[in-house]
Amino acid sequence: MTSYILRRLWQMLPTMLGVILLVFLLFNWVGGDPAYVLAGKMSNAEQIANIRRQLGVDQPFYVQLGIFIRQIVTFDFGSSWSTGETVANILKTRLGPSMTVLIPLTILETLLAVGLALAIAFVRGSVTDRSVMVACTVGMSISILVYIIVFQYWFAYKLGLFPVQGWGDSLAENLFRYSLLPILIGLAVSVAPSLRLYRTFVLDEVNQDYVRTARAKGVSERRILWVHVLRNAAIPIITHVMSNLPALLIGAFLIERFFSIPGIGREVILAVERSDFPVIKAITVYVAAATMIFNLLTDLLYQAVDPRVQLK
């Protein structure tokens, strides 16, 4: 397994270099001259030239690319153009709030969707099965903005069960007070599509020969679903969960924005609004790196779930 991991890490290098080159070209050719963004409307040629010299954008492109690669390797993207805060500190301080919401949300959503998928597969073809699928379709058709507004109005404003906004310094306070309503909204939005997908995975396994053999041996339907079917359906479920993890950091920006959670998603929106290129570039590169790492972890989990999987 060690040789496989080392080989996969080595194979990531060309992909990562491609991502770095693409980001560099987009921000340097398509994004325009950052000196004009920083100088503002009331500026002259001397000020713009001075800013270009400070940023290093007056250097040849190969020199700028070398600077960009050094920033990635050293985790030093400089400071935010808008706030002056170092990009490294921004990532370090914003990652915790995002994880406080996203880790419980991912765990609860996966467990709930898998459990419901197995339960629905147990009564497949019944009125309950069809009703749940209709409810999932309706839930998927509603925008997350509607969920946020409705949940904030009823659970926070009308019933007073949760705070509408806020974030503290204590992990326990953030997890059990400020994060509860965002997690609830995230579950309402994400369970429906996951349930439909996991139900398909489970039903694909239910029709396999090994299930008919287990039934012929007298194994109970409940044991077939929760032991044999779940073990084989876990492979595509793991693929779905792990592939969505990097995107969750950015995808939760609406929840973070509406609830004033100082996370990565909210920081991305603020950086885009301010044309804060150092922050955007750092988050883009590190999300790409996280995606490749999670793909490697997915392959390792395959073998942990099913020993028949060979890592080659």
Q: What is the pLDDT of residues 254-277, one digit of tens each?
A: 888 889 899 988 888 888 888 788
Say how far apart CA 35 and CA 37 lie, in whole Å: 5
What confidence score (pLDDT) does residue 251 get? 59
For the chain, residues classed under CATH 1.10.3720.10 are 95-305
The dihedrals phi and psi of 82, each to the nearest 5 degrees, come to -90, -45
Nearest by Cα to 265 from 278, 276, 251, 279: 251
Q: Rounded to two decimals, what is the model's pTM?
A: 0.86
Helices 230-251 and 264-274: crossing angle, nearest 10°?
Answer: 40
Sorting pLDDT into bands at 50, 70 and 90, what band is 166?
confident
Query: Which residues lie below 8 Å from residue 29, measured CB to CB, with a gap of 6+?
Result: none
Given a contact cutoff of 8 angstroms between Cβ atoms, the answer to whether 201 and 117 are in contact is yes
How far, in Å, are 67, 110, 114, 133, 250 from residue 106 at the CA level?
37, 6, 12, 21, 14
CATH fold of 95-305, please? MetI-like fold (1.10.3720)
What confidence score (pLDDT) does residue 147 get? 94
Sorting pLDDT into bands at 50, 70 and 90, what band is 312?
low
Flag whether pLDDT at 162 surpasses 90.
yes
- Which of the residue ranges 56-65, 147-156, 223-232 would you say has the lowest mean pLDDT? 56-65
Flag whether pLDDT at 196 surpasses 90.
yes
Q: Which residues pair with 86 in a beta bridge?
A: 79
∠ CA 84-29-74, nearest 5°, is 45
Sorting pLDDT into bands at 50, 70 and 90, what band is 161?
very high
Q: What is the pLDDT of residues 5-52, one digit of tens each?
A: 888 889 899 999 999 999 888 887 766 667 776 766 556 777 777 777
Percent of the chain with pLDDT over 70: 95
